[in-house]
Amino acid sequence: MSENPCFPTQGALVQFTFDAFGLLPRKSDSSDEFDETSKKSFQRLLQRLGDEEGLLLGNFEKALGTFHQLLASQIADQEVCDVVTGTLRDLYRSYNDMITEEGTFLAKHLSVLYFGFSRAMVTLIESAYFRSLQHRLFCRYGLVPIEPDWFLPEIQDSSEITWPLARVMRWIYHQADSSQTQFHYPGKTPQSDNFIYERNLENARNWVSGESLPSLPGLLSNFSQSIRGREDGIRDDPDLAESTPLLLLVARVSTAICREIHKAYGREILTELTNDCSDLVRSLKPEVTEFKSEMMNAKGTEDLSEIDARTWDNAYAQYMSFFYFKKHEASETLKRLRAASPANPFKPPVIHALTEKLGRYPVISQLYPITQTKRWNVTEDFKQLLLRGLDLKNNSATNTSDSEEFKQDLRSHDLEDQLSWLASWIDAAIAYRSEDYSAAMDLFEQAFEQAKYRAGKAQYKLVNQYLEACAKNDQKRRFKKGVEWARYLGISIRWLRDKEPTEENLDFVFMMLSRAMYPQL
């Protein structure tokens, strides 16, 4: 992984999502959606998106549309697809909030880990669980493993790791009262000669052993063929047949993600994340169970699918309002504890009392990101140089000598990579104030490129100053490219704001920025 201090691009996360779901069929898979030519063309689009080349918004929307199309071609239940895409949207919003609000001084792979610990895990768990609850998926997919953390790897004290896909496959065999051989090669005997079943069995053995990870089309096709080929057993258990595609989908995605974590960060981090995720899931389950029980008691039925949609949706909305109220109360209490006793704010008896009052999950879901972010404490040198650099950038008296001294201090503290964008921004501000707009534009562009995915809230001012410099130099093409990137990340543009980026509106913004002067940079 790159050691650049930044977060990955949004396009890189889109690429990772496709890889994790395994949606793009392989040569060995039969697919009506993508032939090899279409697949290669789409992979080039993903690569351009990851590299932030071309029309970012258009390619981003096309990638999301293709994702939904491919997922729907494999998962027939539209509500499952809605839960998946809704959860991904929530994760995307969480990531977008982070990259536009928080800067990073960490290498890219550590910035990813920071996102995982500080935001992604809680967002993923809540979104997946509550969206599933909203759509009442539990009414249609009642046969699932009893362990709440069935979708996580099992990590033994030895070096053995049982990946989620292997766990789920073995669970399916057990529920079908079948061996792996007889499940994938129904009726196999020494005289049997069925190429498809033989291939399915060989692939399944490789997947359980962890030797390879199938594409989603290949995985679902294998199990579908096996289920259709069985004369008894699973064909007589419609609940298992119904649940199998959903379980395999979740297990496939989880396995892909966990294997990447293991590869990038090692066994210790994977174990920590797995244990933390399991704890959060087990703590959330009573919240969901409580809501279901209240609905059963209120409506006098154990079959919650009988409740009409309007009644269910209203009850769900009220429940979520109460749930987020408890989380807000937990958050405010934790803030007061930190303010009252910064050195040791979260004393066990106090946290225990809070969980007794609000429930365990609302408390630990707020406490978890706080305790985890401590592992990435910002150094005092970084803090001081960041604040000093921003002061230099804002001070109209700053000159070239001040800038060079700042750069030397960055070098002496080994912070050139982390704050290169700020050094370039200071130089751009000096050129801007001296009305050397040509030099200012090049320096703003340099700072703009260096600050991408690392400067947090500072990106708003920097992007807008770069666009202003483009306008003052009559650089319409650069201006439009900067607008495209800002809109892609959801960064507001002066004079455009929420308006559509029509040619007329962009011409107006371009004209206004070419004339405007902003003394505060």
Query: Which pLDDT does position 232 carry in this prediction?
Result: 62
**CATH architecture of the domain with range 380-515:** Alpha Horseshoe (1.25)
Tell me which amino acid residue 434 is: S
Do 24 and 38 form a contact (C-beta atoms < 8 A)? no
Helix extents (H) in 135-231: 137-140, 164-175, 180-184, 195-209, 216-229
Q: What is the mean pLDDT of residues 375-388?
A: 93
**Ranges of CATH 1.25.40 domains, the chain:** 380-515
Q: What is the mean pLDDT of residues 78-102?
A: 96
Tokens of 400: 């070239």
Tell me the C-alpha distance between 302 and 155, whole Å.
Answer: 36
pLDDT, tens digit, 9 for 90 and up, residues 29-63: 655 566 778 888 898 999 999 889 888 989 999 99
374 pLDDT higher than 90: no
Pick the closest to residue 486 from 503, 504, 506 (CA basis).
506
Three-state secondary structure call for residue 167: helix
Query: Which pLDDT does position 1 carry in this prediction?
Result: 38
Q: What is the mean pLDDT of residues 435-455?
A: 96
CA-derived radius of gyration, the chain = 27
HSE at residue 239, side-chain half, CA atoms within 13 A, is 11
**pTM assigned to the model:** 0.92
Tell me the C-alpha distance between 228 and 241, whole Å.
Answer: 10
517 pLDDT higher than 90: no
Tokens of 453: 């995915």
Query: Which pLDDT does position 37 carry in this prediction?
Result: 80
Tell me the C-alpha distance between 298 and 315, whole Å.
Answer: 11
pLDDT, tens digit, 9 for 90 and up, residues 267-322: 999 999 999 999 999 999 999 999 999 999 999 999 999 999 999 999 999 999 99
Q: CA torsion 237→239→242→243, rounded to 10°? A: -120
Query: Which pLDDT does position 519 carry in this prediction?
Result: 62
Q: What is the mean pLDDT of residues 477-506?
A: 94
Do 406 and 423 form a contact (C-beta atoms < 8 A)? yes
Tell me the C-alpha distance between 11 and 53, whole Å.
Answer: 10
Q: Mean pLDDT, the chain, as a whole number?
A: 93
Do 484 and 57 form a contact (C-beta atoms < 8 A)? yes
Tokens of 380: 């005092």
